[in-house]
Chains A and B, each alone.
Chain A
Amino acid sequence: MSTHLQPTPAPAPLRARLRREERGMTLFEVLMATLILAIASSGLLSAFDAGRRSISYSELHSVATQVAERELQRVSSLKWEQVALNKELSWASGSSSTTDPTHYLSAVECDASVALPSHKPCYEYDWSSKYEPLVLASEAELSSEPDKATDPVTFTTSAPGGATRLSGSVYRYITWVNDEGKCEGTGNTCFSTSTQTNYKRVTVAVTMSGLQRPVVLSTLLINHKGEASNPLFAGAKCVEEGKPITEAASVECA
């Protein structure tokens, strides 16, 4: 409290009246101030709590996005034959919840109009109405462990002390895409019927406890024809650096 305020002394009768009037006001003031502070503090606490929840949710969202992105990149870097799901696993619908990625699996004929290599099991890749058959391969054909593991694969993030901080599940669905009607031109070698496949769709869904809806990322992958026999490997070079293009990295004249 300030001790430097030196108000001009009021005339004696006025000073007496003020003293008299201010007695009791102090108590009222304190009560009012306490009330105001209490209301403001509760608002602050609510704001703190809402902020904390919002930031926690954002953290979940960020972590889920990063995990999905990482998984998509991992699958995209696999060899064409290895971009597939383990056919030894069960791919039946596992949940009635529409926010559960397994809800969109179907072990029965998925769409009679899509006569791709296998009608079943299939996946409703748009979570709405469009189905595509899963790309399946035997365990021996799959190289990396996550691809052989049970679907979904779980993950955790660690706190600084090493304790588990967040955990979740990664669902990965790979389906055959038919490009019918999208590839034109005289004499082209596009597949011309709905019975053949053109490329693969990779859908990664990440769920975490507390996340209202899964984070879902999708992309397409094509078979870069004859990867090993890419004619660029037979002596093509990046002009400015004179660096030969090799099989080690197909995109390297950057």
Chain B
Amino acid sequence: MRMIRRRLHQEEGFVLVVALLLVVTILLLAAAIIATSVATSSHATREYGRSGAIAAANAGLEAAVHRLSSQAEESATQQEDCFTTKFEAKEGGACPGTSWEPLGNGAQYKYYVSPVLTANECAGLWIKAPAGKTLTQRCITAIGEASHGGGTARVQERVANVLGPGLFPVAGIFAETNFKVNNELKYSGEIGARGEVEFNNAVKNVGKEIKIKYGTKYKPHEEGLEHTQFTKEELESERFKIPTQSASGFEASQTTNNNANITMTAGELNSHREIIAVNSTTITMPSGTYNICYLDLNNAAKILYTPPVTIYLDDYHRSGSTCTSGSTSGTIELNNAVEWLDQASTKSPADLRIYAWGNPPETSNSAPRIHLNNAVSGPMYAMIYAPNSYFEVNNAFSMVGGLVAGSIYFNNAVTFVGELPANEAGTGGLSFYPTAYHQCSPSTSPTAAGCY
């Protein structure tokens, strides 16, 4: 008992030491908790900043591609230039960038566009042009900066522009062989043909200047019809080399399309993707992509389309099309007061795109026919690309848009306003497409290494 009492006496005063040790431990724990929560909080803030910065940098890429692709040309001099909102020479060996542009949520972006690449110094792999074509590549580096926590992101994209024509070499009518007109064509826009352009009786331009392709054998019936011709340089440019019809759109739309959304007051789209000999029907086409093999409408039929509508006019001549073989495959027959009614409040030729497969490489009037007969109008706002079809119109047709066909014949009272949306060729122009994308190490310097 004495022993225990003595030991207890020896430990008097130790409670305070233990308490202080506990306090220190508790304070350390508290500090750890605070440090952890601060770290977590700043991580969340950084994550927000990083996301905002990347989205802003991506916005910079998009703005750069849009502005670059809106340029009319890329001459040899311009190919050596950088680009901001226009072509600009290098400054001190480096490309100038744009100034910061706000994005709306507090984030901002700027970008740098390289001259046409001569070495593989950008994100991704070097691109080889399609056979018979040439292309140019540029490198775009965009920097995004978020307001929240000041996150910065740098991204890089390789873009390529295939030199050559769009689908529509002129803002108007282009025939692969001949374009013949009889009686009362009211026309504005551009005309081109590889063969002969023949105007008979009462051809008038209705506003815009008529421009005829250089080298076209032009037989105007009336002297004094105002027109100019494309120059030889223009003729020899890539612009007039009509590209071969690509099968990809036909193949894709054959299996994935919106055909089921078509409604008709009479007739039907049968299992062979044909609408045959329907009178006075009203066809409604919501926005979408359609693939049909034959369209035959008569007598006051109406086609109501809500843009954008794309129609692939398929043909049994295309391997795998499953269209029924025969003379009606790949053709359109519209007779007597058939109307194309664009449901958009502001109408545009881009509202309706018709791609016809036809019978490649046939371009004469024996190719599958698109035949519009007697008062087919609306007017039809459309872009029709049918380089291997025969396009024939009789009596009172009106259209606003662009037309490419194998051969073309207009007879009586045709009104055609040649017009294409911006960036849809016609005037040539650039069209850059992204081919590779990398996120780079964050930096505000466009030349910082490590992005390719």
Contacts and interface: CB of A to CB of B under 8 A. Distances in A.
A34 B45 CA distance: 40
Interface of B: 7, 9-16, 18-20, 22-23, 26-27, 29-30, 33-34, 36-38, 40-41, 43-45, 47-48, 51-52, 55-56, 58-59, 62-63, 65-67, 69-73, 85-87, 101-107, 123-131, 133, 135, 157-158, 160, 162, 164, 166-167, 243-244, 246, 248-249, 252, 261, 286-288, 306, 308, 310, 346, 422-424, 427, 429, 431, 433-438
13 contacts: A50-B37, A51-B37, A52-B37, A54-B40, A57-B41, A58-B37, A183-B67, A189-B423, A224-B433, A228-B249, A231-B243, A236-B128, A251-B435
Contacts of A43: 26-27, 30
A126 B125 contact: no
A252 B435 contact: yes
Contacts of B310: 228
Contact of B12 (A26, A235, A245): A26
Given A220-B62, A253-B435, A141 B287 contact: yes
A217 B55 contact: yes
A22 interface: yes
B85 A182 contact: yes
A62 to B, nearest CB: 5
A195 to B, nearest CB: 10
A183 B12 contact: no
Contacts of B308: 81
Given A47-B33, A254-B437, A228 B67 contact: no
A216 B128 contact: no
B132 to A, nearest CB: 9
A157 interface: no
A156 B438 CA distance: 32
Given A199-B62, A218-B103, A225-B424, 8 more contacts: A40-B22, A44-B29, A47-B33, A54-B37, A58-B43, A141-B288, A185-B72, A203-B105
A126 B37 CA distance: 31
B48 A61 contact: yes
A229 B249 contact: yes
Given A189-B427, A217-B55, A229-B249, A140 B41 contact: no
Chain A interface helix/strand/loop/mixed: mixed
A114 to B, nearest CB: 14
Contacts of B86: 184-185
A215 interface: yes
A7 B11 CA distance: 10
A164 B80 CA distance: 58
B48 A247 contact: no
A117 B128 CA distance: 40
A181 to B, nearest CB: 8
Contacts of B135: 232, 236
Given A225-B431, A239-B127, A179 B34 contact: no
A19 B11 CA distance: 12
Nearest to A245: B435
Q: Which of A81, A191, A251 has the most CB of B within 10 A?
A: A251
A66 B246 CA distance: 40
Contact of B435 (A126, A196, A232): A232
Contacts of B123: 254
A234 B105 contact: no
Given A54-B40, A81-B287, A231 B436 contact: no
Nearest to B120: A239
A108 interface: no
Interface of A: 1-3, 5, 7, 19, 22, 25-26, 29-30, 32-34, 36-37, 40-41, 43-44, 47-48, 50-52, 54-55, 57-59, 61-62, 65-66, 68-69, 72, 76, 81, 117, 125-127, 130, 137-138, 140-141, 179, 182-191, 196, 198-199, 201, 203, 215-222, 224-226, 228-241, 245-247, 250-254
A69 B86 CA distance: 32
A128 to B, nearest CB: 9
Given A25-B13, A61-B45, A240 B34 contact: no
A196 B422 CA distance: 11
B235 to A, nearest CB: 18
A145 B40 CA distance: 35
Given A188-B71, A253-B435, A222 B65 contact: yes
B48 A65 contact: yes
A43 to B, nearest CB: 6
* Most B C-beta atoms less than 10 A away, residue of A3, A188, A245, A246: A188
A69 B438 CA distance: 17
Contacts of A127: 104-105
B63 A179 contact: yes
Nearest to B343: A138
B424 A201 contact: no
A25 B12 contact: yes
B23 A40 contact: yes
B435 A36 contact: no
B248 A247 contact: yes
Given A47-B34, A137-B287, A188-B72, A221 B62 contact: yes
A233 B36 CA distance: 52
Contact of A54 (B38, B85, B252, B306): B38
Contact of B11 (A2, A201, A251): A2
B422 A231 contact: no
Given A188-B70, A225-B423, A251 B9 contact: no
A216 B431 CA distance: 32
A225 B69 contact: yes
Given A51-B34, A51-B36, A253-B127, A219 B56 contact: yes
A234 B433 contact: no
Q: Which of A61, A219, A222 has the most CB of B within 10 A?
A: A219
Nearest to B429: A189
A179 B423 CA distance: 15
A190 to B, nearest CB: 4
A203 B67 contact: no
B287 A229 contact: no
A233 B41 contact: no
A51 B33 contact: yes
Contacts of B423: 189, 225
Contacts of B19: 29, 32-34, 36-37
Contact of B422 (A66, A138, A191): A191
A254 B73 contact: no
A58 B44 contact: yes
